[in-house]
Amino acid sequence: MRLRDAFSRFDFVEVMSPGAAYVARECRGTPPRSVFSLSGLAEGRADGGYTLLARLSDTCSGNIVWSRELDGPRKGADRAGSEQRVVREIAISLMESYATLPARARAQARLDAPDSGFGCIAQAFAVQNRETAAFPGDVRACIERLAARDNGYGLVHSMKAAMLLDDLRASSRVVSPEARSEMLKEAQLGIDMAPASAFAAKVLAEVDFHIGDRDGALAAAERAMALNPLDYDVVATVGTLFIGLGRAEQGEALINFARDNGAHRTDAQDVYLGIAAFLRDDAVAASSALPALEVHRGPEARIASALVLRVLGRPEDERRVVDGLLRDLPGGRTAIEHTVRWLVPARENAQKVLGELESAGLTGSPHADMSSRG
């Protein structure tokens, strides 16, 4: 029962009671669906405890796609806590966005049913997370076609909002009134049609974050975590938003907690851990963040690298990073300012970041007042 409850909180999956007729119908459907079965065996040990053997099977193909041996729940006062440990370990292994079940289902959907609702979402997810070199234009057309239908599938609207946000992230990062209105409409539709979805709440939080609605972003972020506290990818994303909104210590703790529990590590997390180290003037955290930032070459990572180098007392290296940004980034200072405002909507902290970059060689007149966000 605990496993069923935990699994049902994750998006893009339906949790069903076992039933041969249902499985046969879904496997032969048009388009076919991915159907999985979780089974387990408790094996007693000499010490009175037991080992839990769990396995996940692809019911349509008959293949065993995952198996694991775990310590079973303990008897006594800690039984509830040890049960939750088992649930957490299995959920992380199977249900997180990069885990066994969704990764396999997305691959099958992209191959067998690319134009279905889940197939479109699978392709969009792959583009956003750089799993595939699929053409973003084709993916966008597929999502927009589904979002235009009255099909009751709210997560399509959330994915459309996420893709619009990804398009902005890859371009000027200036949020026009038209872009703001469309993103917010799609994100709110997703929430309205899928109110129990942690993914939809997370997307709304990200949209509110980038259009400058601090209170809305915090409320949606906290809602996303409450809807599924075991989705550590969502928890890590919330951590990045908290840092950008001025809650550096809390955001850093959330990212590290999520990573310790199996969250997929992203470039954005590395960037925000660097920004948090700067905002808190924490040399230990800065030293830990720098190696990952030096691997990434995007402007966000280079800005975070400059800030971390400042905390570590390496001003010459910091200046070299800033000089390289001014030289390499089209738009120079203006583009850097847009990137900072995109990363750190909290005005006071954005000014602190820009002030530090100024002292490291970012010259010229400010492009716009820090309170303006497009």
- The amino acid present at 219, given as its one-letter code, is A
For residue range 289-317, what is the model confidence (pLDDT) as tens digits? Answer: 999 999 988 899 999 999 999 999 999 99
For residue range 70-117, what is the model confidence (pLDDT) as tens digits? Answer: 888 777 767 788 888 889 899 988 988 778 888 888 887 777 777 677
Q: Output the pTM of the full model.
A: 0.84
Q: Which residue has the tokens 């066994």?
A: 100
Strands in 64-71's sheet, in edge-to-edge order, are 36-44, 50-58, 64-71
Positive or negative, the CA dihedral 8, 259, 346, 267 is negative
SS3 content of the chain, % helix, strand, coil (to 5): 65, 5, 30
Residues 205, 238 contacting (CB under 8 angstroms): yes
Which CATH number fits the domain 230-374, given the four candidates 3.30.70, 1.25.40, 1.20.120, 1.10.287?
Answer: 1.25.40
Phi-psi region of 281 (alpha: psi -120 to 50; beta: other; left: phi over 0): left
Q: Token pair for residue 86?
A: 């088992």
For the chain, domain boundaries: 2-91, 230-374
Per residue of the chain (374 residues), give pLDDT as tens: 888 899 999 988 888 877 656 666 677 666 667 788 898 898 888 877 788 999 999 888 888 999 999 888 777 767 788 888 889 899 988 988 778 888 888 887 777 777 677 777 777 776 666 555 454 677 778 888 888 876 667 788 998 898 888 878 777 667 788 888 999 999 999 999 999 999 999 999 999 999 889 999 999 999 999 999 999 999 999 999 999 999 999 999 999 999 998 888 999 999 999 999 999 999 999 999 999 999 988 899 999 999 999 999 999 999 999 999 999 988 888 889 999 999 999 889 999 999 999 998 877 434 344 443 43
